[in-house]
Amino acid sequence: MLRENPDGAPVRIYGTNVDPSAPALAACDVGEVEPHRVGNDVYADFALDFCRRHGVDVLIPPRRLDALAGRAEAFAALGTRLMCSSPGAIGALTSKGRTYEAARAIGVPVPEWRVVSDADGLRAAVEDLSRAGETVCIKPAGEYSAFGFRILDDSPLSMRDLLQPARPLVSVNAVADALKRAADGQEKVPQFIVMPYLDDPEVSVDCLSAPGGRLLAAIPRAKEGRYRLLLDNPAYAEIAERLVGHFRLAYLSNVQLRHRHGRPVLLEANPRPSAGIFQTAFSGVNLPWAAVRLLLAGDPGPLTGLRLGGRVAVTETVTEVTPGAFADAA
């Protein structure tokens, strides 16, 4: 979408990943391995050095935003514009508990939730939330994407379960035991969110907004097997607009919703572009390029003619990777 931008501007893509074999690097003109499991200062120094060495004009970070958000002036001194919201917004949205508290305060529907970090807290949260016959799930409360998500289920497996596609199920006892072993071993235990398992469809709203949080475009999409639906439902965009405005999000962000008793509720809000933003390519608006224009020139370009209500297919393709393409980076 960046290369095939509506302005016909030449674009050169630089990418980094902790895994030298990451397929995403094959799509870049220049790929490099980034440091893994390092502190914010080390990561920020790496990013600054990378942009300096390669003369990067625009940096669009999909992760480690907490390491970079406060360094906009340092990047600007190198000639690099950082596409990122404020450190305050990043800090609030990195914690799902704080996100839910803020969302509830501004009238955005949120599920019930409990924040836990030990075995006793987990058992109490599950007992509390499952009283009404709810299916309960758990996930890390920080920035872990979908990693760590589990549905808590103590019921015995049936033959039907064994013959169906696998689901991310785990027993309450297994999770409680893992938390206790970690605490006994003095491991660092992050906070977890325990909450009801919400209903489909899951809706992801890709947002473009001006600095300060004014929403310029919102594209809701949902999964339907191999297809993605570009939804024409103002209710989803209204929730996204309220959150983007409250947190004063800038440029690209993403709001994820699921449903409870037929109404949309907040799942999470991310101050970064979603991994699935490419699925909006047929909406009539090139969100990534509009964000680049907005960052560099203060003008996103035309945002009219948004096409919603359609369905697109997500297909696989095979790309040849030149042997040794990232030998220098490794």
Residue-wise pLDDT tens digits, 160-189? 989 999 999 999 999 999 999 999 999 999
Record the tokens describing residue 308, joined without a space.
């919603």
**285 beta partners:** none
Q: Does residue 326 have a pLDDT over 80?
A: no
Q: What is the per-residue pLDDT across 208-234, written as a single tens digit (0 to 9) for each?
A: 999 999 999 999 999 998 899 999 999
Higher-pLDDT residue of 27, 245: 245
pLDDT, mean of residues 94-116: 95
Tokens coding 181: 């072993």
- Average pLDDT value for residue range 116-145: 90
Handedness of CA 110, 312, 14, 147 (dihedral sign): positive
Q: Which tokens hold the place of 302? A: 């035309």
Average pLDDT, the chain: 93
In order of 56, 150, 158, 175, 198, the CA distances from 161 in angstroms are 50, 16, 5, 20, 20
Token couple for 289: 């390029």
pLDDT digits (tens, 9 = 90+) for 41-91: 999 999 999 999 999 999 999 999 999 999 999 999 999 999 999 999 999
CA dihedral 165, 171, 172, 178 (to 10 degrees): -100
Q: How many CA atoms lie within 13 A of 244 on its CB side?
A: 29
Q: What is the pLDDT of residue 329?
A: 43
313 phi, psi to nearest 5 deg: -100, 140
**Both tokens assigned to 227:** 């297809």
Architecture per CATH, domain 14-85, reads as 3-Layer(aba) Sandwich (3.40)
* Long-range pairs of 262-268 with CB within 8 A, sequence gap ≥ 24: 262/199, 263/109, 264/109, 264/203, 264/235, 264/236, 264/239, 265/109, 265/110, 265/111, 265/198, 266/99, 266/100, 266/103, 266/108, 266/109, 266/110, 266/111, 266/239, 267/198, 267/202, 268/96, 268/99
Query: What fold, for 112-196?
Result: Dna Ligase; domain 1 (3.30.1490)
pLDDT band at residue 24 using 50, 70 and 90 as cut-offs: confident
pLDDT bucket at 314, cuts 50 / 70 / 90: confident
Q: What local confidence, expressed as pLDDT, does residue 316 receive?
A: 83
E strands, 141-250, are 150-152, 169-170, 192-196, 199-210, 214-224, 227-230
Write out the two tokens for 77. Answer: 């001194």
Q: Does 158 score more than 50 pLDDT? A: yes
Q: Is the pLDDT of residue 193 over 50?
A: yes
User: Residue 112 — very low, low, confident or very high, per pLDDT cuts 50/70/90?
Assistant: very high
Is 145's pLDDT higher than 70? no
Residue 202 has pLDDT above 60, yes or no: yes
Least confident of 2-11, 72-81, 98-107, 136-145: 136-145
Nearest 10 degrees: Cα torsion 279, 316, 224, 5: 10
- Write down the domain spans for the chain: 14-85, 89-96+198-313, 112-196
Which one has a higher pLDDT value, 230 or 134? 230
Q: What is the pLDDT of residue 327?
A: 45
Statement: 89-96+198-313 belongs to CATH 3.40.50.150: no
234-247 and 96-105 helices, crossing angle to 10°: 110
Query: Minimum mean pLDDT among 143-147, 206-210, 315-319: which range?
Result: 143-147
pLDDT band at 330 (very low <50, low <70, confident <90, very high): very low
Phi/psi zone of residue 142: left (φ > 0), alpha (ψ -120 to 50 degrees), beta? beta
Tell me the percentage of the chain whose pLDDT exceeds 90: 85
Residue 133 has pLDDT above 90, yes or no: no
pLDDT at 325 (0 to 100): 53
Dmax over CA atoms of the chain, in Å, equals 62
**The pair of three-digit structure tokens given for residue 258, joined into one six-digit string:** 């699921």
Please say if the pLDDT value at position 109 is more than 50.
Answer: yes
Indicate whether 323 pLDDT > 70: no
Nearest in space to 87 (alpha carbons), one of 103, 65, 107: 65
Specify whether the CB–CB gap between 230 and 283 falls below 8 A.
yes
Of 16-25, 102-111, 119-128, minimum mean pLDDT range:
16-25
